[in-house]
Chains A and B, each alone.
Chain A
Amino acid sequence: MRGRQAAWSNPRLQKLAQSFVPVADEVWFLHNRKGPECDFFRSFCEEGHYGGRQKPTSTRQGIYCAAPSGVFLASVNSTDPKRLEAMLTQALERWRELPEAERYMKDPPKAGATDRFRTDSRYPANGLVLRVYTRDLPRKNPKHRGWRAKAWNEDFAWFTADEARTFVPTRREVGARRTIDAQLAGRLARCHLVDNVFGQTRPFRKGEIKTAELTSRIERIEGTQVHVVFEGETHAAAEGSWNMGGLRFEKKKMTRGYKARLRGTAVFDTATKRFTSFELVVVGDRWGGTQYNARDDDLEPAAMGVVFVLAGDSASDRVAPAHYWSY
């Protein structure tokens, strides 16, 4: 997440990346699951910076360069633009030196051969796909400096076509209201109103959702365009003992939560049965932390915001939500 601003916004790295086919993907899946693309990753990742490592974790995350055949070229796990530039330059030198016969697979790979192994294949093409942004909001006494002062994170939220339609009041007249299904509102609170601003976190459990209320109201109707306003509030609170401190693995008695208000607007087209716009803004206080969300020194309540907006439909907009398996 830090690499977005520290490394990949750098024009020199962006120019170097043009000599490659650049791809971003989830490393645990590639390292541990089945399918030709996971086999492909495992064919070279042990030659990289974390090859053979089991402690403090067995992760293989980082930046890798490889030939289409799977021949390893270079790798590093860093957000330092200079180290990345050196690694990419080295990889290109090795690529140029690599004999033609070692550059490519003997049988050209077929598109779609790995789809059935991926969560992305469950993408709700006819449903509602939202991009989710999270960010800390201004405080009286700013707590963070450096990258954390400017950090934000992103995710996706998926709704099937049937679920999406329940965001709109059934009675199509101005002033009509609808209470969003508790299971759906609860899912938003559990899986998406989470503190991932500085890094990955866990979803909340169902029993940890104290309040998850969202209502929609028809504000106006223009032909087939139904304009809707959302309002609501959520409160999630968890307590227990869990690891904190990233790779220090320090188990502590903790609480964590998020209490917030929601307001949004959307336009639903009754002809296509699709949303043509959607925006939901969430503002409230978060507290506590989890092992990898870098809140060890920031446990007291402080303001955090979340925004949901309509995603595009390009391949890079089809990545599965982080907590899809908790839906």
Chain B
Amino acid sequence: MKPLVAGVVCLLLFATASAEEKPLDAAWQAKWRAAIVPAEPERAWRRVGWRATLWSAVVEAHAQEKPILLWAMNGHPLACT
């Protein structure tokens, strides 16, 4: 019995999205939303408190008397990089 259950679980896990022809309903939407949107641990990088523009950091660094840490990438790191 156990191998049969394990087999069914594997089939469910490996069912690909593209092969799925289920109707588009609330359950479909909820299932794939949960699979795609980053979970809380994946959003930990935002805890750094990144400002979104260099100039706003320059202004703030003067006020707070701190140095600037700049993460500069091709594509904005807070959006698509």
Contact = CB atoms under 8 A, between A and B. Distances in A.
A15 B6 CA distance: 44
B59 A111 contact: yes
A37 B72 CA distance: 13
Contact of A60 (B53, B67, B72): B72
B29 A279 contact: yes
Interface centre among B36, B44, B69 (most CB of A within 10 A): B69
B67 A137 contact: no
Contacts of A13: 48
B75 A322 contact: yes
Nearest to A141: B14
Contact of B51 (A7, A23, A28, A284): A23
Interface string A27-63: 1101000001100110000000000000000011111
A88 B68 CA distance: 11
B63 to A, nearest CB: 8
A111 B56 contact: yes
Interface residues of B, number: 57
Nearest to A108: B62
B3 interface: no
Q: DSSP class of A's interface residues: helix, strand, loop or mixed?
A: mixed
Interface string B59-81: 11110111111111111111111
A114 B77 CA distance: 19
Q: DSSP class of B's interface residues: helix, strand, loop or mixed?
A: mixed
A319 B79 contact: yes
Contacts of B38: 133, 152, 154
Contacts of A196: 80
A309 B37 contact: yes
Nearest to A264: B29
B16 A139 contact: yes
Interface centre among B49, B64, B74 (most CB of A within 10 A): B74
Contact of A24 (B35, B44, B67, B78): B78
Contacts of A169: none
B57 A152 contact: no
B80 A155 contact: yes
Nearest to A156: B79
A255 interface: no
Given A109-B55, A154-B79, A138 B16 contact: yes
Contact of B53 (A4, A68, A120, A281): A120
A135 B13 CA distance: 16
A302 B13 CA distance: 15
B12 to A, nearest CB: 10
A229 to B, nearest CB: 9
Nearest to A155: B80
B67 A120 contact: no
Contacts of A186: none
B81 A1 contact: yes
B36 A41 contact: no
A86 interface: no
A57 to B, nearest CB: 9
A288 B71 CA distance: 30
B66 to A, nearest CB: 5
Given A65-B70, A68-B67, A109 B51 contact: no
Given A1-B80, A309-B37, 18 more contacts: A8-B71, A14-B48, A17-B69, A26-B75, A27-B73, A28-B74, A37-B55, A64-B69, A104-B65, A134-B36, A138-B13, A139-B16, A154-B80, A196-B80, A263-B24, A279-B29, A316-B78, A319-B79
8 contacts: A1-B81, A23-B71, A24-B71, A88-B69, A104-B62, A113-B55, A138-B14, A263-B29
